[in-house]
Chains A and B, each alone.
Chain A
């Protein structure tokens, strides 16, 4: 500790602190323009200059380090005079018109001018090139007339989110912020994340959707959690009355530290859509009519009672929702188990990360991401396999890019040259579905070259000999033949991982959505255990979960094998515990049906009724024609939703639900962080919270459930009944997210699982795994492999993003990505409509010829219904979890003559 005197106040300081930091810590205001805490290195604006007694010149407080005994004055006449000069120069250039400026009231330049008593600049400097307004971007307006060239946007774009679009161009008074090679932002490589807007201290960059909606002082900020992917970014909703007028990332909040992607920042207005469901609907003679809650709920309850009475509780099934809050999923599985006595509850983790839960439980004992997103930026090696991160988990990808630029080795393994490969030290273009062979090849090198962590394996893992025997069957030559990655690259990647530890393995659905999905997961776990990369900071196995609350829906027991907190339904102690807590008898003690089995049993009429909560299964399950056939075969279909979807068309009753921002509760992100979701408006019409709907149905089954809010559900049932969540009370969650396990009130939560190699079930389990090919491989009739995924500007079937202004404009239709080689061979032009067909269906879709696609591959998404990839995909599923093989089926493509 040293002592510094600022404006006659004696302050304690650390040696390496700047004058600005010490002043801020002591409540002394120094104005700044270009400064960005923690990442700032340009010191360009000089507005923060202060007088240091004994120094020859004024010192910028953001750059000047404190020294013991230093005496600083922040507001002497020479300081103020220098600041006046700077502000006058800034104001004299461009057009700083505050009248209708969005930034007015929170503009740094306006504030400093006010502090210094400057009304208008005493002189005008003309630029040779007049600065202009660039209105070409869908989401962002660049008003260069207001730009003060502080470079904060350039720093945000290049050093924070690493999208590398913005820079400074030209020089002298012509200097301007440029996009790419000085083209309009709308035509540039900008992905419209809006991080530059959040960084802009003046009105030069604004969110187009917010213009004219509110003055800054009319707005209150409400913190909540993003409703899109599993990263779980923390948002500030800028509210004017009950309208969200703008969204910004919460600075200093985990996991996103202020960052947001285009969907998180601009995808909020779907909740105000006039298409929202406002009343319960009952289908009569093929048409929906509005009904009262009592009529609709009585009908649902009576129909379920009738079916259970005649066909037994196994004849009903439920699909919960990974988009909605934890409290809703908890309540739905309770409805099925406690009221219907049916074991058949599942949710859409079945179609994405069920292999993660199953595989990691087998390998480690706990089915969640072992480490945290923030660690991506700190580690020494990033091994990213089967992940389209820059599009599907954009904010997680920014931390990976940070890590690479901080010196970590980045290895990207994917069949497509996905965007992240552009940042990679090694990019291995693997053949679809060859992951186990490739991973065994890496482990073969680690073992034969004696590069694995022998101490970790000996002390913390079992079954090493079996693993060794198996991977010795996969020397680089064989691994290369199967995976298409060269022997040399397999060897160099293995050595790179051994040389750069600790390292983090990150994967997404490229690993799980295969017939060998669970084996793929366990194979990644094998690799990390062999390297000793588990149970320590900046390491681990890190699956990126799909939906905002798919981790939570699993945690809440919306799975056919566990109650919430992963308490097994076949464990008599768990059954007894929940029978007592829920005050019921006869909870089902067998495993329930998984979603694919439910559909099959609907088709064979063994199952009669299905309750679908917030999932558009018709668009998201594989083989759409089959899903439709099954739903048509069902005797009774109930949907809770916020909109009509392709699925609700097959419902007998549709119940209108409160959406994100219309109810209080929690989401759990992929790093097990439970974060608060807050209510900012009422649900439209007579729509109700989902937990209320389930409770009212339970009431008609003679059960009275006391909890009357998200908080009561969490504090009175969810937390006390599961050791993982017992210490995470709602009040504690209100202070910020908590990562489970959190077992006592004092427990701050768990950032890293299996610390020091202490696995949940004792030792980590190494598995000897063989490679198996995809269920459907190309042949003469269907010579291409179809692989599917997501694109940046939409989320799944667009139920939400399709109703957000601007997002449809950014991605207006579906595409089939094909290679340049195949396009040339078949005479297909970029942008031409083509036919893609499989054994299950045919779609017409626009071809997107891309250098990122290897020969023989077709890549599609599921955002638009008429040419959704799922008309084509196969129902073949993972041997353990039945997760469908969305990543591989055989298709043919044809030119439309």
Chain B
């Protein structure tokens, strides 16, 4: 799934954008985190090639860049799917059975938490309370909320995403 991002990197105009982002922040103190923020905005994650460019342009060891990326859960080392499925494991949802729903999601998508399907369509994540406890158990797909879920809803929701107008707002 990386092939697209890395293979064409040399011709990828995003390289120049990364260089521009670094140049913009480079001379301010603690520049690395804002740079990583913006670059992740560009790619949706932080590919190895982008890490290398950031390290080179900032003249810092790549181990330091990776150290920061891996420290903060906000930064991602892997590409995200078109649909980010996020299941709430907060207390209310958990009590209302989000555990078995997560299992069903894993089974349906054939991936684990934090992983992305081979076709690049879905990424499965877990999260803490979304503030929609009244609808527990809850999941979101690209920000759209699905509540009062049962296991049987899962295949329907996933299938819905695959149709062109699956009702999923990007």
Bound complex: CA of A179 vs CA of B66, how far in Å? 9
Residue numbers in A under 8 Å from B7 (CB-CB): none
**Cβ–Cβ contact A166 & B70, under 8 A:** no
**Cβ–Cβ contact B70 & A164, under 8 A:** no
| Given A169-B71, A170-B71, A171-B71: A158 and B61 interface contact (C-beta under 8 Å) | yes
B92 within 8 A of A: no
Residue numbers in A under 8 Å from B66 (CB-CB): 167, 169, 178, 180-182
A833 within 8 A of B: no
**Cβ–Cβ contact B61 & A169, under 8 A:** no
B40 within 8 A of A: no
B48, B52, B67: the one within 8 Å of A167 (CB): B67
Which chain B residue has the least Cβ–Cβ distance from A162? B61
B74 CB to closest chain A CB, in angstroms? 12
Bound complex: CA of A179 vs CA of B65, how far in Å? 11
Question: Which residues 43-99 in B have Cβ within 8 Å of A in the complex?
Answer: 48, 51-52, 59, 61-67, 70-71
Task: Map CB proximity to B onto A175-198 as digits: 1 under 8 Å, 0 otherwise.
Answer: 000111110000001000000000
Bound complex: CA of A182 vs CA of B61, how far in Å? 12
**Cβ–Cβ contact A178 & B67, under 8 A:** yes
**Cβ–Cβ contact B70 & A179, under 8 A:** no
Bound complex: CA of A181 vs CA of B54, how far in Å? 12
Residue numbers in B under 8 Å from A496 (CB-CB): none
Which chain A residue has the least Cβ–Cβ distance from B72? A171
Residue numbers in B under 8 Å from A181 (CB-CB): 48, 51-52, 62-63, 65-66
A165 within 8 A of B: yes
Bound complex: CA of A158 vs CA of B48, how far in Å? 21
Residue numbers in A under 8 Å from B62 (CB-CB): 180-181, 189
Which chain B residue has the least Cβ–Cβ distance from A423? B59
B72 CB to closest chain A CB, in angstroms? 8
**Cβ–Cβ contact A164 & B63, under 8 A:** yes
B48, B51, B59, B63: the one within 8 Å of A178 (CB): B63
| Given A181-B48, A181-B51: A165 and B71 interface contact (C-beta under 8 Å) | no
**Cβ–Cβ contact A167 & B61, under 8 A:** yes
Residue numbers in A under 8 Å from B52 (CB-CB): 181
Bound complex: CA of A165 vs CA of B61, how far in Å? 7
Interface footprint category on A? 10 to 19
A118 within 8 A of B: no
**Cβ–Cβ contact B67 & A168, under 8 A:** yes
Bound complex: CA of A96 vs CA of B81, how far in Å? 40
Residue numbers in A under 8 Å from B63 (CB-CB): 164-167, 169, 178-181
Residue numbers in B under 8 Å from A158 (CB-CB): 61
Task: Map CB proximity to B onto A468-502 as digits: 1 under 8 Å, 0 otherwise.
Answer: 00000000000000000000000000000000000
B2 CB to closest chain A CB, in angstroms? 14
Which of B63, B70, B71 has the most CB atoms of chain A within a 10 A radius of its CB?
B63
Residue numbers in A under 8 Å from B61 (CB-CB): 158, 164-165, 167, 180
**Cβ–Cβ contact B71 & A167, under 8 A:** no
Bound complex: CA of A9 vs CA of B131, how far in Å? 62
Residue numbers in B under 8 Å from A167 (CB-CB): 61, 63-64, 66-67
A427 CB to closest chain B CB, in angstroms? 12
Interface footprint category on B? 10 to 19
Residue numbers in B under 8 Å from A170 (CB-CB): 70-71
B105 CB to closest chain A CB, in angstroms? 20
Residue numbers in B under 8 Å from A189 (CB-CB): 62
Bound complex: CA of A29 vs CA of B28, how far in Å? 44
Which of A165, A167, A178 has the most CB atoms of chain B within a 10 A radius of its CB?
A167
Bound complex: CA of A181 vs CA of B48, how far in Å? 8
Residue numbers in B under 8 Å from A164 (CB-CB): 61, 63-64
Which chain B residue has the least Cβ–Cβ distance from A165? B63
Task: Map CB proximity to A onto B102-125 as digits: 1 under 8 Å, 0 otherwise.
Answer: 000000000000000000000000
Which chain A residue has the least Cβ–Cβ distance from B61? A164
Bound complex: CA of A180 vs CA of B48, how far in Å? 11
B53 CB to closest chain A CB, in angstroms? 12
Bound complex: CA of A169 vs CA of B63, how far in Å? 8
Bound complex: CA of A178 vs CA of B63, how far in Å? 7
Question: Which residues 9-58 in B have Cβ within 8 Å of A in the complex?
Answer: 48, 51-52
Bound complex: CA of A808 vs CA of B135, how far in Å? 65
Which chain B residue has the least Cβ–Cβ distance from A166? B63
Task: Map CB proximity to B onto A133-155 as digits: 1 under 8 Å, 0 otherwise.
Answer: 00000000000000000000000
B30 CB to closest chain A CB, in angstroms? 17
Residue numbers in B under 8 Å from A182 (CB-CB): 66, 70
B161 CB to closest chain A CB, in angstroms? 29
Bound complex: CA of A166 vs CA of B64, how far in Å? 8
B65 CB to closest chain A CB, in angstroms? 7
Bound complex: CA of A263 vs CA of B80, how far in Å? 45
Residue numbers in B under 8 Å from A165 (CB-CB): 61, 63
A695 CB to closest chain B CB, in angstroms? 54
Bound complex: CA of A602 vs CA of B153, how far in Å? 94
A494 CB to closest chain B CB, in angstroms? 24
Residue numbers in A under 8 Å from B65 (CB-CB): 181
Bound complex: CA of A644 vs CA of B128, how far in Å? 71
Which chain A residue has the least Cβ–Cβ distance from B63? A167
Which chain B residue has the least Cβ–Cβ distance from A171? B71
Which of B64, B67, B71 has the most CB atoms of chain A within a 10 A radius of its CB?
B67
Which chain B residue has the least Cβ–Cβ distance from A164? B61
B94 CB to closest chain A CB, in angstroms? 19
B73 CB to closest chain A CB, in angstroms? 9
Bound complex: CA of A164 vs CA of B59, how far in Å? 11
B11 CB to closest chain A CB, in angstroms? 15
Residue numbers in B under 8 Å from A178 (CB-CB): 63, 66-67, 70
Which chain B residue has the least Cβ–Cβ distance from A154? B63
Residue numbers in A under 8 Å from B48 (CB-CB): 181
B149 CB to closest chain A CB, in angstroms? 27
Which chain A residue has the least Cβ–Cβ distance from B60? A164
Question: Which residues 404-422 in A have Cβ within 8 Å of B in the complex?
Answer: 422
Which chain A residue has the least Cβ–Cβ distance from B56? A422
B35 CB to closest chain A CB, in angstroms? 15
Residue numbers in A under 8 Å from B59 (CB-CB): 422
Bound complex: CA of A95 vs CA of B48, how far in Å? 31
Which chain A residue has the least Cβ–Cβ distance from B52? A181
Which chain A residue has the least Cβ–Cβ distance from B66? A181
B18 CB to closest chain A CB, in angstroms? 15
B70 CB to closest chain A CB, in angstroms? 4
B71 CB to closest chain A CB, in angstroms? 5
B33 CB to closest chain A CB, in angstroms? 15
Which of A167, A168, A179, A181 has the most CB atoms of chain B within a 10 A radius of its CB?
A181
Bound complex: CA of A461 vs CA of B62, how far in Å? 48
Which chain B residue has the least Cβ–Cβ distance from A188? B63
A795 CB to closest chain B CB, in angstroms? 28
A143 CB to closest chain B CB, in angstroms? 19
Residue numbers in A under 8 Å from B70 (CB-CB): 169-171, 178, 182
Residue numbers in B under 8 Å from A169 (CB-CB): 63, 66-67, 70-71
A176 CB to closest chain B CB, in angstroms? 9
Bound complex: CA of A158 vs CA of B59, how far in Å? 13
Bound complex: CA of A464 vs CA of B71, how far in Å? 60
Bound complex: CA of A181 vs CA of B64, how far in Å? 8
Task: Map CB proximity to B onto A215-251 as digits: 1 under 8 Å, 0 otherwise.
Answer: 0000000000000000000000000000000000000
A607 CB to closest chain B CB, in angstroms? 55
Residue numbers in B under 8 Å from A171 (CB-CB): 70-71
Bound complex: CA of A283 vs CA of B119, how far in Å? 72
Which chain A residue has the least Cβ–Cβ distance from B46? A181
Bound complex: CA of A158 vs CA of B67, how far in Å? 14
A178 CB to closest chain B CB, in angstroms? 6
Bound complex: CA of A166 vs CA of B71, how far in Å? 15
Task: Map CB proximity to A onto B142-155 as digits: 1 under 8 Å, 0 otherwise.
Answer: 00000000000000
Which chain A residue has the least Cβ–Cβ distance from B71? A171
What are the 8 tightest A-B residue pairs by CB atom distance, in nearest-first order?
A: A167-B63, A164-B61, A181-B66, A167-B67, A169-B70, A170-B70, A171-B71, A169-B67
Task: List 7 A–B pairs whose Cβ atoms lie within 8 Å, in order of A's numbering.
Answer: A158-B61, A166-B63, A169-B67, A181-B48, A181-B66, A182-B66, A182-B70
Task: Please give 4 more A-B residue pairs, beta carbons under 8 A apart, in addition to A164-B64, A165-B61, A182-B66.
Answer: A164-B61, A169-B67, A179-B63, A180-B62
